Amino acid sequence: MIRKIKILLMALIVFTLNQSSTPKKTAVPAGPNIILIFMDDMGYGDLSCYGALDINTPNIDRLASEGIRFTNFLSAQAVCSASRAAILTGCYPNRLGISGALFPASPIGLAPEEMTIADLLKQNNYATGIFGKWHLGDAPEFLPLNQGFDEYLGIPYSNDMWPVNYDGTPAQTGTSKYRFPPLPLIRNSAPLDTISTLQDQALLTSRLTDEAISFIRRNKKKSFFAYIPHPMPHVPINASAAFRGKSKQGLYGDMIQEVDHNVGRIMDALKKEGLEKNTMVIFSSDNGPWLNFGNHAGNTAGLREGKGTSFEGGQRVPCIIRWSGKIPGGLVSNQLASTIDLLPTIAKLAGAPLSDKKIDGIDLGEILKGNLQASPRKNFLYYYRKNSLEAIRRDNWKLVFQHPSRSYLDQAPGVDGFPGASPENVMMNEALYDLRRDPGERYDVQAYFPEIVKELKALAELAREDLGDDLQQRAGANNRQPGKLKNNR
């Protein structure tokens, strides 16, 4: 008996020694954490690192100084739902049948079979969360939990789609706002709260940031994707009490500075949790400013037109990407790039396979490594409305085709939350612009460069064969259908 006890004790000692001398294996993250902050209607000139006057954005500026700032970065389309379909799928939104801004009770949404960034990263066991505005269909089958996300807190469509007047009073029967249902704040798949007042709107930025930080902390031991599509600065804008009156640009500046503060909160959380070196942070906007809202709208930094147009003021947006230790700090890329390029770039970094379906994005990895001469994207298609090819670009040359367009030119803007006029069917003539010397698209140089016009028109023909063109009443060969409610099929 004593001999057996001695043998057991020796075995236990050997086992203990082996355990203490063998290093414990720690789980290796599947790839970098990804945080994608996506603003709504933020203009190219709304950040101090992009030249904003009297608006201070030190936290976002710090992202730029520690990473790369793009100066020639385009939203796929200058409108809410289309731009969001594009950034999440890497496709021109008209390829997916998504256009414009979907309204409450929309019979369509992003097709569940389309691969989003969340779907893509789920293949590599990422935790995925969205905290903000969805706007890709508000029916249950189109909400984020059916598009690759594990959790969701946010609003299903734009924050102006509610039964409240521009001045914050309840909409009266017969007015345009009265048709909208109450604006829900949804958690996962069910309403959690209702956004009923301008004060409720003022709390959205911090409330969504709180939720994003909670998600980051709860998933710090695995790879995660946090998508933060803020409802601001889409009107109606507001800022919480702590930020009101803090900028020299009125309520709009106050609200942008509150956004900047909350970006800083996210970066502080990453640092505190030891996640800075394995987290890529991307900051961008869905389109340019809604200029007819005047002092409640952003700044295009001198680019032509704004939201809802295919001119540069509508589609050129800020983009900053920061990944400590991986992306060299203080870089500025002037190369052409787009929101549709983020999905393939993230896929490559995470080692996640792409969908078998055609996408339009291009990997920007070489630029992120610091090769500022790399130019992976040569061409870009400016589609708008349902499926109209309004312009095409190759490098710095942009050919605008004749098309009816929204225009803010020569229109008095609104004041304090009320809109001014923005005619929708102003005819734009065909013109060639050299964006290197004329980023404001003011001087037609077709007569000087007929060979460039010919080359761009040949590219446009290839685009029309692929995606069609409503301006020429042509169908494309490779368009896909949006998701449709069963009773609408």
If we measure between CA atoms, which residue out of 183, 101, 110 comes closest to residue 146? 110
Q: How many helices (H) and strands (E) does the chain have?
A: 11, 22
Residue 80 among the catalytic residues: yes
If we measure between CA atoms, which residue out of 145, 88, 115 comes closest to residue 353? 115
CB neighbourhood size of 108 (10 A): 20
User: Do the beta carbons of residue 209 and residue 265 sit within 8 Å?
Assistant: yes
Rg from Cα positions in the chain: 24
252-274 burial: b if 16+ Cβ within 10 Å, else e = bbbbbbbbbbbbbebbebbeeee
Q: Percent helix, strand and coil across the chain, each rounded to 5? A: 35, 20, 50
User: Do the beta carbons of residue 304 and residue 312 sit within 8 Å?
Assistant: yes
The 3-state DSSP class for residue 337 equals strand
Contacts of 19 (CB under 8 A, 6+ apart): none
Contacts by 445-454, CB closer than 8 A, 24 or more apart: 449/397, 452/397, 452/399, 453/399
Q: Which amino acid is at 56?
A: N
CA torsion sign for 142, 463, 69, 219 is positive
CA torsion sign for 293, 294, 298, 301 is positive
User: Do the beta carbons of residue 162 and residue 177 sit within 8 Å?
Assistant: yes
Q: Which amino acid is at 319?
A: C
The 3-state DSSP class for residue 331 equals strand
Separation in Å, CA 137 to CA 37, 115, 267, 343: 20, 16, 31, 21
Spatial separation of the C-alpha atoms in residues 434 and 437, rounded to whole Å: 6
Catalytic residue among 80, 91, 230, 234: 80
Phi and psi of 463, rounded to 5°?
-65, -40
Separation in Å, CA 76 to CA 95, 179, 191: 11, 30, 30
Tell me the two tokens of residue 99: 């256009």
Spatial separation of the C-alpha atoms in residues 474 and 484, rounded to whole Å: 23
Catalytic residue among 91, 135, 261, 319: 135
Known catalytic residues are 80, 135
